[in-house]
Amino acid sequence: MEIGRDRRADIEALAAGLVVVAGLVAAVALMSYTPHELGYGLGMLLAVVLYVSESRKAASAGSKMPATVWVNLGLIVALLVVNYLYGVSNRPIGTVHLVETSLDSHVPVVPAFVVPYLGLYAYTIFSIAYMGTHLLHKQLRTLLLALIFATAIGLTTFVIFQTYVPPPTEFGGEPFRSMMLYVENDLYAGNFYSAFPSLHVAYSVVLAIAWGQLRRPVVSPVLILFSVAIALSTLFLHQHFIMDLLYGTVLAVAAYATAWRFWGR
């Protein structure tokens, strides 16, 4: 009996290792190797390792990890893959539209907002790692599904109705100037064709809803405010128009509601 349990534990450890390797491939090999994206990929890999480690510790000796852990690990890899597809879609495909409104011309450039804009990546990793290490399996599954749904619908829209946002011409002083130039020239490689909806907004709203449901004292309110800052940064850095923000918000709410309704209970 003990031999059977040990063998099962060995098989599970091997499977966990394969998931980590798959995560490494998706996180590193599929990313475009800008410092930010490489950090994002490796951060997600670390989140996977921590999640597997905590889940194995929580399982009794010789027993299996809950099936939902394996589902969530697969969803993390799937999220990295659709993140990669964003870069593929961010190039001219066909007819390019402009969804600028009269209000957009009155929005100033505020370089300091580049900090929360870039902070979305660390925010996403932290949220996934937090839910994973606290064994909040259902909440993590809901979050991952919502992010995947939002990204998939966003990618579909990019192909069907591609838009363009002219890059900003004001960058302010250092250190924000260098950070904004990094966003323009490295993170997006000079391409600004995948804007409607804003996935920065979609992700920040999904994360805000997730943390609102967790109701953690201090942490939840602070991170919800950070989500608001990320959403506003898309306008104040001239990365998106108001219509992009609105569509991203609606998309996020719909994606999270769907994930919660069918898979989060």
Cα dist from 101 to 43, 104, 198, 242, whole Å: 37, 5, 16, 7
Q: How confident is the model over 76-102, as a mean pLDDT?
A: 80
Question: pLDDT per residue over 100-129, tens digit each?
Answer: 888 988 989 888 898 999 899 889 999 999
In this structure, are residues 198 and 244 in contact, taking their beta carbons and an 8 Å threshold?
yes
Which residues face 163 on adjacent strands? 97
Of the candidates 262, 143, 264, which has an alpha carbon nearest to the alpha carbon of residue 204?
143
The alpha carbon torsion through 202, 187, 156, 77 (nearest 10 deg) reads -80
Residue 2 pLDDT grade (very low, low, confident, very high; cuts 50, 70, 90) = very low
pLDDT in tens, 133-158: 998 999 999 999 999 999 999 999 98
For the CA atoms of 201, 207, 213, 218, the dihedral, rounded to the nearest 10 degrees, stands at -110
Instruction: Please give the model's pTM, rounded to 2 decimal places.
Output: 0.84
Task: Tell me the residue type at 190.
Answer: G
Query: Rounded to an integer, what distance in angstroms lies between the CA atom of residue 187 and that of residue 191?
Result: 9
